[in-house]
Amino acid sequence: VHMTGYQCIACAASQPVDFSAFLCPVCGGNLDIRYDYDAVSAILSNGFDEAAKGVFRYRALLPVAEPEDGFPLRIGATPLYRADRLGRQAGLNRLYLKDDSPNPSASFKDRASVVALCRAQEVDADVVATASTGNAGSSMACLAAAMGLDAVVFVPRSAPAAKLAQLRAYGARVLAVRGNYDAAFDLCLAATSAFGWYNRSTGFNPFSREGKKTCAFEIWEDLGREVPDRVIVPTGDGNIISGIWKGWRELQAVGLIDRLPKIDCVQSERSAAVCRTVRRLRASAQTVGDVCRVQVEQVEASTAADSICVDRPRDGLAAVRAVMESGGAAVTVEENEIATAAFEMARLAGVFPEPAAAVPWAAVKRMADAGELDREETVVCLVTGSGLKDVAVASSAAPEPVVIEAELRAVERAIAGEER
C-alpha cells in the first residue's frame, strides 16, 4: 500500500496516514487520499497487474490490501460495449457504454463498497452502516454478507421496492426513514457516531472514492490504453464523478497517459445542485482556483432517477472541481428524456439501465442536438445500475404487451399491428 495520508479537498490541509477521522479537522471538508506517485510510477512502468482481475488489479493505487485469501466476490472488470446503433442516433462514430450492472449487487457502487469494507475490516469494525437511496445500501449489504459483517442501512421511505428487496435478502437491518435521502444521511451520521459503527456513506468516507476511480483505469485498458475524449457521468452526491476524475489524474500522475478526458456531469433538471453550481461559477468567470471557496448549491430534489435524487451533494465540491478542471459540460435533462433514454438503450444497445444510468445517453442526445459533440469523438457513458432495480420508469416509455387469444390467427393479426 503506497498511501501517504489525506488532503482536504476544501482547504488543502494534510493529515498523516494514521489519521482516523473522515473529515478535515481544520474546516470540516471532505478528505482525499494521497499516494507516493513516484513509487507507484516505478511499479507501473508497464501497466497494471496482468494476472489479477477486478479492482484489486489496481492494488498499487488502492489504500487497502486485498484479503489474504482473496475477496469472495468479483468486483469490477465490467464490460465496455461499443454502441454503434445507439451512437448513430446522435451522429457519433465512437460511442461506448461502460456497463457496471454485472457487479454482484448490479451497480457501480460495489467498487466503493469493496474498498470501504476492506478498510472496515482493517480497523476491526463489526458493524458497517450507510445512508443510501438504494444502490449503495444494496452494495454494502451484499459485500457485508460475503465478508461476514453486520450491515445497517438507512434509506428514504420512498426507495424503490426492488432495491429494498435486495437489502432485505442480503440480511441487512433496513431502516426506512420518514424523510428524504438527506434525512437518512444525517441520521446515519448520528447513529454511527453514537454506536461506534463504521460509516461507509458516500461523500463522507474518503475510501469510497478510491474504489470508484478504478472504473477510469478499466476504461483506459478497455480502449487499448487510449484516453477517451469525454466520459459522461450521472451525478447525485458527486462521489462517482469525483472518483472518475481522480482515476484519470492518477493515470497521468504515474506517467501512463499524457492527456485527460473531459468529464461531463449529468443530472436531472429536478436534482441539479452540481450543474447549477458549475453554471454559476462559469457565468461569473470564476477560475478553478476559486472552486475551493465556493458554496455548492442545495436544491429540493424530486426525480424518478432515485439514485441521483439529492438535495445537498455530500461530495459536491469535488464534483464541481472535476467538471471545472476537466473542462467538462454540466448538462441537465428532463424526466421524460430519462424514461425515453432508458428505453432506447435497451432497444438499440441491449443494455437495460436504471433511470439514473440512462441520463448520460439523454445528455448525449442533448449535446448532439446543440452541436456540442464531434462525430469522431470517443464518448463513454457510465451505466451505473441495472434497470431491474427500478422497472417503472423504463416501462413508461415502452409499448404495452399485446393481449391476444390463444390462436394462430391472433398472432398473425398482432404481428400485422391489428390487435390492440
At 235 the pLDDT is 98
User: What integer is the mean pLDDT of 255-269?
Assistant: 98
Q: Note down the domain range covering 95.
A: 80-105+208-397
Q: Give the pLDDT band (50/70/90) at residue 420.
A: very low
Domain assignment of residue 310, yes or no: yes
At 153 the pLDDT is 96
Question: Could you tell me how many residues make up the chain?
Answer: 420
294 DSSP assignment? P
Helix axes 239-253, 214-222, angle to 10 degrees: 60
How many domains would you assign to the chain?
1
At 407 the pLDDT is 95
Q: Give the pLDDT band (50/70/90) at residue 343.
A: very high
**DSSP secondary structure of 143-197:** HHHHHT-EEEEEEETT--HHHHHHHHHTT-EEEEESS-HHHHHHHHHHHHHHHT-
Give the whole-number percent of the chain exceeding pLDDT 70: 98
229 DSSP assignment? S
At 394 the pLDDT is 67
Q: Cα–Cα distance between 93 and 97 in angstroms, integer?
A: 13
At 231, which CATH number? Answer: 3.40.50.1100
Q: Cα–Cα distance between 414 and 171 in angstroms, integer?
A: 45
Domain assignment of residue 292, yes or no: yes
Tally: H helices and E strands in the chain: 15, 13
Q: Which residue has the higher pLDDT, 265 or 159?
A: 265
CB 170 within 8 A of CB 149: no
For 146, counting Cβ atoms within 10 Å of its Cβ (0-12 exposed, 13-18 middle, 19+ buried), the class is middle
Q: Cα–Cα distance between 44 and 164 in angstroms, integer?
A: 41
Q: Give the pLDDT band (50/70/90) at residue 419.
A: very low
Q: Which helix (H) or strand (E) holds 34?
A: strand 31-35
Give pLDDT tens digits for 199-226: 999 889 999 999 999 999 999 999 999 9
Domain assignment of residue 243, yes or no: yes
By C-alpha distance, which of 265, 278, 226 is closest to 248? Answer: 226
Domain assignment of residue 133, yes or no: no
Domain assignment of residue 35, yes or no: no
Q: Give the pLDDT band (50/70/90) at residue 290.
A: low
Domain assignment of residue 71, yes or no: no
CA dihedral 31, 37, 40, 42 (to 10 degrees): 180
312 DSSP assignment? S
By C-alpha distance, which of 348, 353, 340, 347 is closest to 386? Answer: 353
Q: Cα–Cα distance between 345 and 84 in angstroms, integer?
A: 11
At 391 the pLDDT is 80
**DSSP secondary structure of 75-137:** -----EEE-HHHHHHTT-SEEEEEE-TTSTTSBTTHHHHHHHHHHHHHTT-SEEEEE-SSHHH
Does the pLDDT value for residue 286 go beyond 90?
Answer: no
By C-alpha distance, which of 190, 154, 203, 360 is closest to 266? Answer: 360
Q: In what order do the strands lie in the sheet with 14-16?
A: 14-16, 3-8, 31-35
At 399 the pLDDT is 82
Q: Give the pLDDT band (50/70/90) at residue 164.
A: confident
CB 216 within 8 A of CB 244: yes
In the structure grid, which three cell numbers stand for residue 244, read together? 472518475
Domain assignment of residue 147, yes or no: no
User: What integer is the mean pLDDT of 132-146?
Assistant: 92
At 11 the pLDDT is 92
Buried b (16+ CB within 10 A) or exposed e, 6-23: bbbbbeeeebeeeeeebb
By C-alpha distance, which of 208, 204, 199 is closest to 63? Answer: 208
Domain assignment of residue 131, yes or no: no
At 330 the pLDDT is 98
Q: Give the pLDDT band (50/70/90) at residue 379.
A: very high
Task: Note the pTM of the prediction, 2 decimals.
Answer: 0.94
The dihedral through the CA atoms of 335, 398, 360, 154 has a sign that is positive
By C-alpha distance, which of 285, 232, 242 is closest to 262? Answer: 232
Centre a 10 Å sphere on the Cβ of residue 287 and count the other Cβ atoms it contains: 8
Query: Mean pLDDT lowest for which of 58-62, 64-68, 172-176, 240-244?
Result: 64-68
